[in-house]
Structure 1
């Protein structure tokens, strides 16, 4: 029965040009959200920035996945061989958020990778004014880096599916 699924290829960018356009739109979205995260990082309340970063990042991941046709629901609708291909490409890229439901635990695992920056950002808040600026800069850079990594993982998966797409 699973092999009888029909893949709706209109959801996944079908050419290099389409992938490039979606990539650029998503990178713009990352920069916009990173700027918002930086603004929240400047607020001198310990912990506020981490909660806001997580909330913004979950939304970002969902929107980027959707733009590439790689939400969990969309990936589940792929024929099994294409679904496996998508997950293998995502894992190979380190894209643990591609085609997955983003949970708090998954985000914490990701944020632990950049834990030193989070600790530095939080500690910087203890220094008046200059600390908020440093915290905002670190928040922007961290968010942008993680966002760009996710976009690039989606690009790789979409490209792999584009190549395997039936004519």
Structure 2
């Protein structure tokens, strides 16, 4: 469980580094002029990094199931409020393909650009890097916002509990 904002910020930075490396790998695969290879690679990359990001932020289905009822309800509401399609979910190939298809224009442009000699491969690599970085960083931002909301909620609950204890121990508050 994430205890401080600093810890949360460090997790975000670590995940962003992971996404940049994965985006570079995606770009490298996109440069290879074999139709379909890049899409398969992107799916495999996202199937690997999205669960890692969820895990680092404490947002895998198993981690959420391990929360107390109030915390679980709060986290599920926060996920719903962010509109995240991948936080707190089991990541399947169909889910990844669905999300990639929503980025269809970029994916189509990447595929078509491969047929332009030399420059096309470079363009495909650039599009692939940008699309992968965008998807990964968008997911990180969603997870960060969810985890931050959960952290702030826990801190408010702890402050309220501390106030109750202080008031119970304060003899001037006795009736």
1:44 alignment partner, one of 23, 27, 33: 33
Paired residue secondary structure (1:92) = helix
User: Which of structure 1's runs of 4+ aligned residues deviate more than 4 A?
Assistant: none
Rounded to whole Å, the distance in 2 between the matches of 1:108 and 1:156 is 24
Rounded to whole Å, the distance in 2 between the matches of 1:91 and 1:42 is 37
For 1:134, the equivalent position in structure 2 comes to 123
* Residue correspondence of structure 1 range 139-150 to structure 2 within 5 A: 139-150=128-139
Which is higher, the Rg of structure 1 or of structure 2? 2
TM superposition shift of 1:109: 2.0
Rounded to whole Å, the distance in 1 between the matches of 2:69 and 2:33 is 48
* Residue correspondence of structure 1 range 5-154 to structure 2 within 5 A: 12-154=1-143
Q: How many residues align?
A: 156
TM superposition shift of 1:84: 2.2
The superposition leaves residues 3-59 of structure 1 with CA deviations (integer Å, 9 ceiling, x where unpaired) of xxxxxxxxx322111111100010011101000010011111111100100110111
Rounded to whole Å, the distance in 2 between the matches of 1:133 and 1:23 is 29
The superposition leaves residues 75-95 of structure 1 with CA deviations (integer Å, 9 ceiling, x where unpaired) of 111122222221221222221
Paired residue secondary structure (1:164) = helix
Identify unmatched segments of 5+ residues in structure 1. Answer: 1-11
Q: Judging by fraction of residues, say which structure has more helix.
A: 2
Identify unmatched segments of 5+ residues in structure 2. Answer: 159-175
Rounded to whole Å, the distance in 1 between the matches of 2:28 and 2:80 is 32
Aligned-pair Cα RMSD in Å:
1.1
Rounded to whole Å, the distance in 1 between the matches of 2:44 and 2:104 is 17
